[in-house]
Amino acid sequence: MLIAPFASDRIKHAAYELSLGEEAYVTSSGCKITRRRGEHITIPPGQFALLHSAEIVHVPADALAFISIKARIKLKGLINVSGFHVDPGFRGQLVFSVHNAGSRPVTIACGDPCFLIWFGNLTQATADTYDGGHRGQSGISPDAIDRINGEIASPAELSARLRDVSRAMKAQWALIGILFTLVIASIFQPTITRWFERTTVSTPTQTTSK
């Protein structure tokens, strides 16, 4: 069996639609989250996430698989950054490392068809089958979380930082303006006072006799 559980209505245009599993890790949350079928996962702009397929995938030794995210989700800005193929001999749930390159949050529901997989036959079986650490993987491992963690330097994050710096600079310039005004006022206050004293000296009142 290439995919388990298998549903024939998930075959579309030579691809099989894999559904979103129950575990996810979003860099903005800082912890792995679990959602039941139908519940949503939201990935904010500029953030990375780890998502996994609900199905177990088996790629035989005489085949190679290619994977992608469905177009309706990619058009929201979510892109796959973890690779685009599955080696011969792999068996387990697929984990997708994704990045929200859009300007709005991307929300997807557990159990919904989110990923695509295509199988291609090799001319013969290979002895060089997959034997890495992801064999038999189920859900999202702590190692995968450690690899994706770190400071996010995305366009959205940089834009937010620039806005913060701009607001701070405006506040600083406003404070400098106030201090400058007070300094100037304290320097020229004696001169201004003397000028007012000279201009307010009273003159004698003249009377006109008839």
For 123-174, how does the pLDDT look when each residue is reduced to its tens digit (9 = 90+)? 999 999 998 888 888 888 888 888 887 655 555 555 665 577 677 777 777 7
pLDDT of the residue at 204: 52
Phi, psi of 167 (to 5 degrees): -65, -40
Q: Answer for the pair 40, 49: CB distance below 8 angstroms, yes or no.
A: no
Give the whole-number percent of the chain exceeding pLDDT 90.
54
Among the ranges given (1-10, 73-82, 199-208), the one the predictor scored with the smallest mean pLDDT: 199-208
Give the SS3 label for residue 101: coil
Tell me the mean pLDDT in the region 35-47. 92
Among the ranges given (4-8, 14-18, 138-142, 203-207), the one the predictor scored with the smallest mean pLDDT: 203-207
Work out the mean pLDDT of the chain and round it to a whole number. 85
pLDDT of the residue at 26: 94
Burial of residue 95, with CB atoms counted within 10 A of its CB: 0-12 exposed, 13-18 middle, 19 or more buried: buried
Token pair for 46:
């500029």
Return the half-sphere exposure (C-beta side, CA atoms, 13 A cut-off) of residue 61: 7
For 75-112, how does the pLDDT look when each residue is reduced to its tens digit (9 = 90+)? 999 999 988 999 999 999 999 999 999 889 999 999 99
| Helix or strand holding residue 145 (H, E) | helix 142-148
pLDDT top residue among 152 and 185:
185
HEC sequence for 59-88: CCCCEEEEEEECHHHHCCCEEECCCCEECC
Q: What is the DSSP letter of 9?
A: G
Return the half-sphere exposure (C-beta side, CA atoms, 13 A cut-off) of residue 80: 19
